[in-house]
Structure 1
């Protein structure tokens, strides 16, 4: 298999001078006429220039890219579109490094958005025996302004996290099993000194009573793993944030088998776990003072004589029992074990889980917005604000108390798939395992995958939620930040 990991990204840096002989990129914004940034006097054909966000045109050796009205979303789209155009040109013997001339009044937020778009917009994952095509390697943002270098540094960290999340989710499942995912987490953590990764095997899971993980993974010849990433932080007075990500490395649906159509996409069913791993690496790389733990229960949901069945009753970590009604609703079973483990052992101040959990949420919100459930208004607001800051959209959904009783089972403590609105009842099931800790559940079944290019997203795994989790952790880096 030839798919080098991590996927190389375009390097973006800031400078205050142009390089001699290096082709330039100019920016244009919407207006009548189109407004051109520095170097605009060299544009030869104004008729071919548009200020629309993401519009690109070539002017001799130079390029022009539109940044629209100049909002962060427009700048992010501009960076992504520019890199795709330059990649395509590089394949025809074009250049591999460019100087981007930015306006004198460009803001740090605009530069950060452009950097993020440029870094991940040209992402490409392909398993091939052929040599990869020539690609653009670097952009140099030429601008003078306070805070721009720091904005680019952080944006590059967010881009790397997004790319790592995509890499993990895109890797085919004949390569990726729970053991591979655990090893990949260990390898990824090496770039972040101080980040510890502990991997527990199926024997440990049995000894500790992780009935959900063992049931889901019982049908596969490739046993489950439990991955725990620990970033200790540097200030004991700050909150302890625990992130839990679903790590189903392939999902057949088990005995409640999925239709063949679309099953190939189930290699990305561990996108929540990928987001958590990527977020912990990004948090550690920035040396955020807050303490953060990431938990990824990893299993392969397969069909065999040892697979768990509808009607089974399983015992989770901590003793709660669940009546299984659909083996294709496996994600909530592994998350339940991890949430209970977190509450009992880690004493979190804040608990957040992220998962490609329900088709219902994809139907409800589409493929560009994640579902947000929360027991705490402050936590919900932080997540929504964090997402808006890094270009990820969340919509808060209700935890309807009138449906809570439907989670109860006649033959066990709870039942796996209560009737009613699927996204909400799945969240209510998970809530049973969160104690009284402020908790949020992020359902990314829609935005975790894309079937076409838009903005900085490419087809395949999107890396959605990794950036939000990093930004969320940063909101807790000051004392008295809960409540």
Structure 2
């Protein structure tokens, strides 16, 4: 199958008449495509059968103004159409990037390769054979021999593979995916990568390290909690060492404060933040980036039982700070608190970024496609937002200055502990305020991905189910050197 990019107002690329094999009359395809009325709207698609010739089907796909989002839409629509045709014998898709609207350079090639692989992603556990898959996608670029383009294509392949791994982790059902399984997957995936070490802390190590939040949340499950620490440090790394802390709740019933059945159905995805930070480190190591980075995933299963933690309990975190439990379904912040404190005190972090499907309030505020970003430093926020723009992952910065939220801090007060874990609305902001003291003054960003961590339907490079959201943003930030401001006073003990 040949995909033809149609630009805004129906603009067709100049190479069009030479695209078929054997050659066709000049203008044949252009005329046929023009007759379809495809006006170039991003994502618009029309089919032009070419009987007796190769390719047998030409698909016109709108690419609009050929911006990166438009290009991702063009590639994803073409891949999905080709996958449908694969069930009827099509095996190859040709994707030209010369749109006639804007030249395709390294950024466009990387975006196209990532999208082609991720739009074709599928996760299935069925008893019947899977449908036939597309065997080959050829991305055609005018400067394909340029070393920068070659490197971009490689980066796209490796990035997509890491994001697909994150999606696999998120989509795996929780009857398989418990904290021990998740830790084993990380060891298997990262073992042998140059510069990578993986450490898994079990219940005894967690007790010795003071991980009271992780142990409390995981205490009701027959599957004990784990903390997974995956570090990448190449010989060329400088002193900067960002630590990415991911929420790894492998299933969330809500615990004693149990969720409704409907509220539980998608809770296998409650470790999507952990999957994202692991994928970012995986990709950084495979791309051999010259920056040190560590992913810490606090993995637990939040279940009700006779050993569950309860409303009214007081949890003591790494470093000694305490939390009064008012709602056992506000568990993610308890495990993240331990992770942030451990990263600051024991891992030598110079900056902290946590990623979590943390609050339904964030999904209410920003919808299912956009994540919230809180940050203690403007430079870190700006760098992450720039990285997100390159990655095609939408974030919106939320306020965290005293001028905006200072009055909310009183809601965290507790008569018996340093804070309570359910301070009320606005829920996403008070959750961020709960986490901030555990950062000790390090530059810190909190990414609440509750909405876009899972998709309800296919869209561009997203596929229904777990999305791997935030992994590409973190990777792009690392590729830029993980820029932040110099830290102010840091509390390490």
TM above 0.5, yes or no, is: yes
Q: Does 1:66 align with 2:62?
A: yes
Measured in 2, the distance between the counterparts of 1:259 and 1:28 equals: 47
Residue 90 of structure 2 corresponds to residue 89 of structure 1? no
CA drift at 1:253:
0.2
Secondary structure of the structure 2 residue equivalent to 1:219: coil
Tell me the residue number matched to 2:171: 170
Aligned to 2:408: 403
Query: What are the residue-to-residue correspondences of 1:380-419 with 2, within 5 Å?
Result: 380-399=381-400, 400-419=405-424
Secondary structure, in 3 states, of the residue corresponding to 1:298?
Answer: strand
Choose 138-147 or 386-395, whichever is displaced more.
138-147
1:262 Cα offset (Å)? 3.3
- Kept after mapping to 2: 8 A contact 1:248/1:298: yes
1:460 and 2:458 are equivalent in the alignment: no
Matched, 1:34 2:11: yes
Instruction: Provide the C-alpha distance between the structure 2 equivalents of 1:476 and 1:238, rounded to a whole number of angstroms.
Output: 11
How many corresponding residue pairs? 458
Instruction: Kindly indicate whether the alpha-carbon contact (under 8 Å) linking 2:315 and 2:324 is maintained by their aligned counterparts in 1.
Output: yes
Report the CA distance between 1:420 and its aligned residue: 3.0
1:53 is matched with 42
Q: Which runs of 4+ in 1 moved over 4 A?
A: 480-483
- C-alpha distance in 1, partners of 2:357/2:320? 25
Q: 1:477, CA displacement in angstroms?
A: 6.5
Residue 470 of structure 1 pairs with residue 475 of structure 2: yes
Secondary structure of the corresponding residue to residue 305 of structure 2: coil
Per-residue deviation, residues 298-343 of structure 1 (Å, max 9, x unmatched): 0000011111000000111111111000000000000011111011
**2:118 aligned residue (99, 117, 120):** 120
Q: Relative to structure 1, is the Cα distance of residues 236 and 166 closer, same or farther in structure 2, using a 3 angstrom cutoff?
A: closer
2:3 equivalent in structure 1: 25
Q: CA deviation at 1:54?
A: 2.3
Q: How does 1:99-110 map to 2 (within 5 A)?
A: 99-103=94-98, 105-110=103-108
Q: Which deviates further from its counterpart, 454-463 or 234-243?
A: 234-243
Secondary structure of 1:406's partner? helix
CA distance in 1, matches of 2:89, 2:291: 47
Structure 1 residue 52: Cα displacement: 2.1
Question: 1:341-367: CA deviations, max 9, x gaps?
Answer: 011112211100000000000000101
Partner of 1:98: 93
In the TM superposition, residue 144 of structure 1 has moved relative to its aligned partner by 2.5
Distance in 2 (CA, whole Å) between partners of 1:102 and 1:75 is 8
Comparing 247-256 and 104-113, the one that deviates more: 104-113
Contact 1:336 1:433 in 2 (8 A): yes
- My pick for the range that moved more, 166-175 or 396-405, is 396-405
**Partners of 1:351 and 1:312 in 2: how far apart?**
28
1:179 paired residue number: 180
Structure 2 vs 1, CA of residues 37 and 128 (structure 1 numbering), >3 Å: closer, same or farther? farther
Q: Is the 8 A contact 1:233 1:292 kept in 2?
A: no
Larger deviation, residues 198-207 vs 152-161 = 152-161
Preserved CA contact (<8 Å) 1:83 1:118:
yes
Q: Is the 8 A contact 1:249 1:269 kept in 2?
A: yes
Query: In the alignment, which residue of structure 2 is the partner of 1:321?
Result: 322
In structure 1, the residue corresponding to 2:69 is in which secondary structure? helix
- What's 1:142 paired with? 140
Aligned to 1:420: 425
Partner of 1:451: 456
